[in-house]
Amino acid sequence: MPKKSQTELDLGRSLIKTLWPKQLNSVAWTRISSCALSLPRRRYSTSLLMRKNYVLARMISSDNLVIKGFVGHLIPECLTHVLRVCLIADMKSRISLACRKKGINEKAAIDLIHSQDENCRSWVESQFKIDDPWDESLYDMVIPIDKMENDDAVNLIKKNVQKDVLKPTERSKKALADFILSATVELALAREGHNMRVNSIDGRVILTIDKQVLMLSRLEEELTSIAGKIEGVKSVETKIEKKPYQADSYLKYDFKKPARVLLVDDEREFVQALSERLLIRDIGSAVAYDGKSALDLVQEDEPEVMILDLKMPGIDGIEVLRRVKETRPGIEVVILTGHGSEVDEETCMKLGAFAYLNKPVDIDLLSKILKKANEKIQRKKAVMN
């Protein structure tokens, strides 16, 4: 084996040392180089996932990449020139690493690890119907980095990545071209509000609709028109995938509504019911039950709109609003409280709240306010572009 360069060794060390074992650390390798792309820990919208899929497809058209994060799971199995690696460690090692890297105590580290593990399980279950994110069937290699030296782990990966079986073949290159075309069509459809599975074979594009559809012929005509404009598309077919007890109806995404809404309230039953009522109106949301969790989520994956309660244990709503407006002023915050006062309302509006509402709230009124908040966001984006 040729002597490894210092750059390659440092890269391997940095990857293995900085990745949290069993936390967002499935790694897809195609040679040794430096590039990272990861999905947000909470998925807000399918269109966001499609954009990630498109970026990933474009990235892997080049060789010599290290792709870090769960986005690696989006790479089709037919791309055989990819080495899929998962780094794992026991709980003791993970807690120690979390305490050291994050500067937190053991209890906070355990809570963080459990939260991350649950996100991992949700992702893998949604993609593969498997509830174990570290199932060996998902990877070519599973490396216990608490049981070996970093250099040994690097050497093991390098040894395997250089094998002939991982060299690109005509078949894998063709599979890559199909993957890129599918991702490009997916993104074009998502931009027009359509969410569906796309497959392509030598320019033949197959669109799979897995929900009940009214006026199917009109939908097929629209989809064909969008996909047919993509370079490389030779033909477009639609396929209806019937599911047992399928009750959902196909809905075109409404860009007049915010794509990422964060609900913050310590009353769990109320906020879960509110989330479901918004979903009926095609507004998806993530949920946080306290101020600290909300601020953490804002740092991890910035929402467009936050619906915020005032009276919560720990960091209260007014302090959350103040911090959000200091660090992420582009987020529109709607106050929704059952215990506020006129003084609270005046304070919130001065801090930059978009609206101040009292519980119980009329869901149609809240929906209208969310749409107005989204209009403001879109105007800002138009000015910036």
- For residues 351 and 333, give the distance between their C-alpha atoms in angstroms, rounded to a whole number: 10
Q: How far is CA 267 from the centre of its chain?
A: 26
- For residues 367 and 351, give the distance between their C-alpha atoms in angstroms, rounded to a whole number: 22
pLDDT at 182: 94
Identical fold, 170-240 and 261-384: no
Sequence ranges of the domains in the chain? 6-166, 170-240, 261-384
- For residues 109 and 106, give the distance between their C-alpha atoms in angstroms, rounded to a whole number: 5
For 129-174, the three-class secondary structure string (H helix, E strand, C coil) is: CCCCCCCHHHCCEEEECCCCCHHHHHHHHHHHHCCHHHCCCHHHHH
pLDDT at 176: 92
Q: What is the CATH number of domain 261-384?
A: 3.40.50.2300
pLDDT at 50: 66
Architecture of the domain spanning 170-240: 2-Layer Sandwich (3.30)
pLDDT at 46: 53
pLDDT at 9: 34
- For residues 85 and 72, give the distance between their C-alpha atoms in angstroms, rounded to a whole number: 10
CB 333 within 8 A of CB 373: no
Looking at this protein, which amino acid is placed at residue 133? Answer: P
Q: Which residues of 6-45 are buried (b: 16+ CB within 10 A; e: fewer)?
A: eebbebbeebbeebbbbbbbbbbbbbbeeeebebbbbbbe
CB 264 within 8 A of CB 308: yes
pLDDT at 131: 85
The domain made up of 6-166 is a member of CATH 3.40.50.300? yes
- As given in the structure block, the two tokens for residue 42 are 């909470």
pLDDT at 118: 85
pLDDT at 44: 39
- For residues 61 and 184, give the distance between their C-alpha atoms in angstroms, rounded to a whole number: 13
Which whole-number Å values give the CA distances from 113 to 94, 107, 132, 314, in the listed order? 8, 10, 15, 21
Instruction: Give, for all 385 residues of the chain, the pLDDT tens digit.
Output: 233 333 333 333 333 333 323 333 344 443 333 333 333 333 334 555 666 677 788 888 777 788 887 778 888 888 888 899 998 899 999 999 999 999 999 999 999 998 888 888 888 887 888 888 888 899 999 999 888 888 898 889 889 988 888 888 999 999 999 999 999 999 898 888 787 889 999 999 999 987 666 567 778 888 999 999 999 999 999 988 755 444 444 544 444 556 678 899 988 888 888 888 887 777 777 888 889 988 988 887 778 899 999 999 889 999 999 999 999 999 999 999 988 889 999 999 999 999 999 988 888 899 899 989 988 988 887 777 6
Q: HSE on the CB side for 165, CA within 13 Å?
A: 6
For residue 202, the SS3 value is coil
